């Protein structure tokens, strides 16, 4: 059921997740060099990002069981929050923050936040579908 609005939200979130492999997120400028961070800087970030994208596609094609689909969405939100925390910890620990003179946040840094918003919107619409089907069962 790709034509549902929640499926479009999930596809948009998966597209932003795939785009995270190719965009830079943050660049740090110190006195002697510029360091650009992307999602593929550390192996554990790549593994968690790949798992998140795989879960997004499981989430997309789990439309036959809406309760499991909503649970998968919640798990996906938690994993994206974990990814954000690990990425910020990686940036903080990898380079000494005392000698950084300038931090530039690139447009790719909002992608994880957009993904979480799209998953929340998809879960809200899945809940509406579930409520509609329950109300139809009450009428019978």
pLDDT per residue over 2-53, tens digit each? Answer: 678 888 999 999 999 999 989 888 887 877 777 788 877 788 888 999 999 9
CA–CA gap between residue 24 and residue 41 (Å, rounded): 10
DSSP letters of 42-103? SHHHHHHHHHHHHHHHHHHT-TT-HHHHHHHHHHHHHHHHHHHHHHHHHHHHHS-GGGEEEE
Q: What is the model's pLDDT at position 93? A: 79
> pTM above 0.75?
yes
Please report, to the nearest 10 degrees, the dihedral formed by the alpha carbons of residues 90, 96, 97, 101 taken in order: -120
- Helix (H) / strand (E) containing 34: strand 34-38
Q: What is the model's pLDDT at position 121? A: 93
pLDDT per residue over 88-109, tens digit each? Answer: 888 887 776 667 777 788 888 8
């Amino acid at each position: 059921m790709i034509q549902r609005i929640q499926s479009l939200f999930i596809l948009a979130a998966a597209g932003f997740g795939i785009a995270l492999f190719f965009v830079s997120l943050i660049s740090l400028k110190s006195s002697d060099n510029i360091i650009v961070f992307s999602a593929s800087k550390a192996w554990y970030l790549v593994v968690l990002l790949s798992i998140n994208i795989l879960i997004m596609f499981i989430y997309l094609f789990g439309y036959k069981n809406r309760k499991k689909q909503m649970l998968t969405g919640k798990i996906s939100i938690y994993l994206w929050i974990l990814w954000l925390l690990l990425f910020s910890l990686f940036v903080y620990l990898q380079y000494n923050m005392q000698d950084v003179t300038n931090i530039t946040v690139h447009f790719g840094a909002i992608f994880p936040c957009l993904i979480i918003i799209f998953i929340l919107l998809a879960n809200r619409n899945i809940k509406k579908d579930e409520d509609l089907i329950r109300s139809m069962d009450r009428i019978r």
